[in-house]
Amino acid sequence: MKKASSEAWSTAFRRLAMAVIALCLTTGASYMFAIVVQSDGFDWLDIVRIALMAVASFWLAWGGCIALFGILFPPEERPTAEALPEGRTAVLLPIYNEATGPVFARLEAIMKSVAALPAADRFDFFVLSDTTKRMSARKNSVPMSDCLFARTPVDACSIGGANRTLAARQATLRTS
């Protein structure tokens, strides 16, 4: 409990330090900009320009402070969970008038990388085809049917012995 409390104070102190540094940088930049702006006279439009410049410079200074503090004080390693996820995950791949070769090649690569995970049996892959062109629909059906009727358990559509379904839904085609 004490470690969590000291970590919270450390985080609050770092954020306060970043805000102070960003405000100091913004004040300096705004002051220098005000000197340049008043060289030809000072009116109400100059106040608007200085205010807008202050907002922009604070935004930049804040981002710079975040980057600097991220380099100076890297975050501590957080413990990761050792347990496998309990639920199932559906990976959806929508297709809309696309070339099927590259799409299914990417899907195969994704499925192979997921197959290497310990929880590979908890992933289901679905191809959702909403193709409106008849020729594209015919081209989609060949790779889909090849994948749906996989020849071996290690094929792209049934990886690692798990019997996962790769389903395709073809929308009603409109005639042009």
pLDDT at 144: 54
User: 80 in a domain, yes or no?
Assistant: no
Structural domain span for residue 47: 2-72
Calpha distance 98→131 (Å, rounded): 8
- Per-residue pLDDT, 128: 82
Please tell me the distance from the alpha carbon of residue 6 to that of residue 92, in angstroms, as a whole number. 43
pLDDT reported for residue 157: 46
Say if residue 93 is in the same domain as residue 160: yes
Residues 68 and 7 grouped into a single domain: yes
Q: How many domains does the chain have?
A: 2
Domain boundary among 17, 37, 72: 72
Q: Are residues 47 and 120 in the same domain?
A: no
Same domain, 6 and 65: yes
- Clarify whether residues 65 and 98 are in a common domain: no
In a domain, 82, yes or no: no
Q: Which of 72, 97, 123 is the last residue of a domain?
A: 72
In a domain, 15, yes or no: yes
pLDDT confidence of residue 169: 40
Number of H helices, E strands in the chain: 4, 3
Shared domain for 106 and 155, answered yes or no, is yes
53 and 93 part of one domain? no
Shared domain check, 148 and 100: yes
Residue 30 forms part of a structural domain:
yes
pLDDT in tens, 1-40: 456 677 788 888 999 999 999 999 999 999 999 999 988 8
Q: How far apart are CA 24 and CA 92, in angstroms?
A: 49
Q: What is the pLDDT of residue 106?
A: 86
Q: Quote the CA–CA distance of 63 and 172 in Å, as a whole number.
A: 50
Q: Are residues 55 and 98 in the same domain?
A: no
Closest CA to 129 of 154, 158, 157, 100: 100
The answer to the question of residue 176 being in a domain is no
In a domain, 81, yes or no: no
Q: What is the pLDDT of residue 26?
A: 97
Last residue of a domain, one of 72, 99, 129: 72
Does 104 lie in the same domain as 67? no
pLDDT lower than 70: segments of the chain: 1-4, 133-176
